[in-house]
Amino acid sequence: MFFVFKPEATDNQRERLLAELREQDMTALAVAGNGSRAFALVGPNSAMEKLALDRHPLIEEVVREKAPYKRASRGLHPDDTLVKLGGVAVGADRFVVIAGPCAVESAVQIDAAAAAVAAAGAHALRGGAYKPRTSPYSFQGRGPEALRLLAATSERYGLPVVTEILDAADLPGFMQCAAALQIGARNMQNYTLLRAAGKSGMPVVLKRGLSATLEELLLSAEYILNEGNNNVILCERGIRTFENATRNTLDLNAVAWLKRNTHLPVLVDPSHGTGIAELVAPLAKAAAAVGADGLLIEVHPSPAEALSDGRQSLSPEAFARLMRELRPYVEASGRHL
């Protein structure tokens, strides 16, 4: 349930009602972006109904909302949230493309990748320093050295950086080089990491878990929002289904559903969503057409030699072609590149 105080309610009157709610085991959460008059009420349903807030003299409006996520809901926050990635706003009219290699491998590789994606018109650079690999024997990322390379590359090409964090202890290094933290599919429900990312105040790209429902995704977002950090960008990256012709099944239902039910921006990652480079362009176009706010795409200067996710990585040429072909789909959904 959400409620909104009347504008004439004084601070004292409001404080008294909030204290009364606390005494009855209910918590009123101020809804961000809506001034301090709007609150989400969390607690036992029966107790909330008994309060009859609809008829309370200090209350202007009550909205009944069954969803367990409160701050992420469009309920009392109908306007889209914009999240700044360096100088670029995600969630506004611009369709934002974040591109780069799965992992930072070397100075030469990240420079070539950044040069290619910048020339093709990408708005931000991706690249993992710490890689969450299924096997402990696979390439794990270059760690702090990769963060240093990302910082230098970001500066050289004027591209804000999005990079995945696995451990909250590494936050200081990320704060120096990244415009946004990526929380990957495997960590979508790492609540300690979500809270730490929330406390950092940094923009967060939160990827949907391998088998997570959309409600679970929004509840994970809620952990970040609940720390007072509204800079959350969601990312659909494919889910596990019975289908094994592709690495994952890119759930474009999710985009349409999320755009209706949350005010947070939504990206699509067709690279992990399909696992097959040849399928990235068609699904990227579909993502633009269905109303996504942007894309997260893997691009490698030489995909065949990539240390991770080469099979799904676009070459610089394929990425440049995609950027040219994307425009009509982006424009059809009322945005620009």
Q: Shortest approach of Mn ion to residue 127 CB, angstroms?
A: 10
Q: Shortest approach of ligand PEP to residue 273 CB, angstroms?
A: 9
Chain residue at closest Cβ approach to Mn ion: 102
Which residues within the stretch 104-123 sit at the binding site for Mn ion (CB under 5 A)? none
Q: Shortest approach of Mn ion to residue 146 CB, angstroms?
A: 14
Q: Is the CB of 37 or the CB of 237 nearer to ligand PEP? A: 237
Amino acid at 36: S
Choices 14-22, 82-90, 94-102, 172-180; region in contact with Mn ion by CB under 5 A = 94-102
Q: Could you give the count of Cα atoms lying within 13 Å of 328 in the half-sphere of its Cβ?
A: 2
Dihedral angle computed from the Cα positions of residues 272, 93, 73 and 36, in that order, rounded to the nearest 10 degrees: 140
Question: What are the start-end ranges of the H helices in 160-276?
Answer: 171-177, 191-200, 214-225, 252-261, 270-274
Q: Shortest approach of ligand PEP to residue 298 CB, angstroms?
A: 7
Q: Shortest approach of ligand PEP to residue 79 CB, angstroms?
A: 28
Q: Shortest approach of Mn ion to residue 101 CB, angstroms?
A: 8
Contacts with 207 (C-beta within 8 Å, 6 or more apart), sequence order:
182, 183, 184, 185, 188, 235, 237, 269
Distance CA 305, CA 133 (A): 17
110 Ramachandran zone, left/alpha/beta (phi>0; psi -120 to 50): alpha
- By CB under 5 A, name the one of 9, 309, 326, 329 that touches Mn ion: 309
- Select from ligand PEP, Mn ion, none the partner in contact with residue 237, using the beta carbon and a kind-dependent cut-off of 5 to 8 Å: ligand PEP
Choices 37-45, 100-108, 240-248, 279-287; region in contact with Mn ion by CB under 5 A = 100-108
Binding status of residue 102 toward Mn ion by CB under 5 A? yes
Binding string to Mn ion for residues 206 to 225, with x set by CB under 5 A, is what? --------------------
Q: Is the CB of 75 or the CB of 275 nearer to ligand PEP? A: 275
Q: Is the CB of 149 or the CB of 337 nearer to Mn ion? A: 149
Q: Shortest approach of ligand PEP to residue 212 CB, angstroms?
A: 11
Pairing of strands 266-268, 27-30: unpaired
Q: Shortest approach of Mn ion to residue 300 CB, angstroms?
A: 10
- Select from ligand PEP, Mn ion, none the partner in contact with residue 185, using the beta carbon and a kind-dependent cut-off of 5 to 8 Å: ligand PEP
**Where would I find the beta strands (DSSP E) of 56-171?**
59-63, 83-85, 88-90, 96-100, 124-126, 161-164
Are 128 and 141 spatial neighbours (Cβ–Cβ below 8 Å)? yes
Q: Is the CB of 62 or the CB of 166 nearer to ligand PEP? A: 166
In the sheet that holds 2-5, the strands lie side by side as: 27-30, 38-42, 2-5, 59-63
Q: Is the CB of 293 or the CB of 298 nearer to Mn ion? A: 298
- State whether the Cα torsion 273-274-276-277 is positive or negative: negative
Tell me the two tokens of residue 206.
């939160």
- Select from Mn ion, ligand PEP, none the partner in contact with residue 207, using the beta carbon and a kind-dependent cut-off of 5 to 8 Å: ligand PEP
Residues in the site for ligand PEP, rule: CB under 6 A? 102, 128, 132, 184-186, 207, 237, 272
Are 221 and 232 spatial neighbours (Cβ–Cβ below 8 Å)? yes
Tell me the two tokens of residue 263.
């005010």
Q: Is the CB of 31 or the CB of 165 nearer to ligand PEP? A: 165
Q: Is the CB of 70 or the CB of 164 nearer to ligand PEP? A: 164
Distance CA 333, CA 240 (A): 28
Q: Is the CB of 84 or the CB of 186 nearer to ligand PEP? A: 186
Are 293 and 95 spatial neighbours (Cβ–Cβ below 8 Å)? yes
- Select from Mn ion, ligand PEP, none the partner in contact with residue 184, using the beta carbon and a kind-dependent cut-off of 5 to 8 Å: ligand PEP
Distance CA 94, CA 32 (A): 23
Which residues lie near Mn ion (CB under 5 A)? Answer: 102, 309
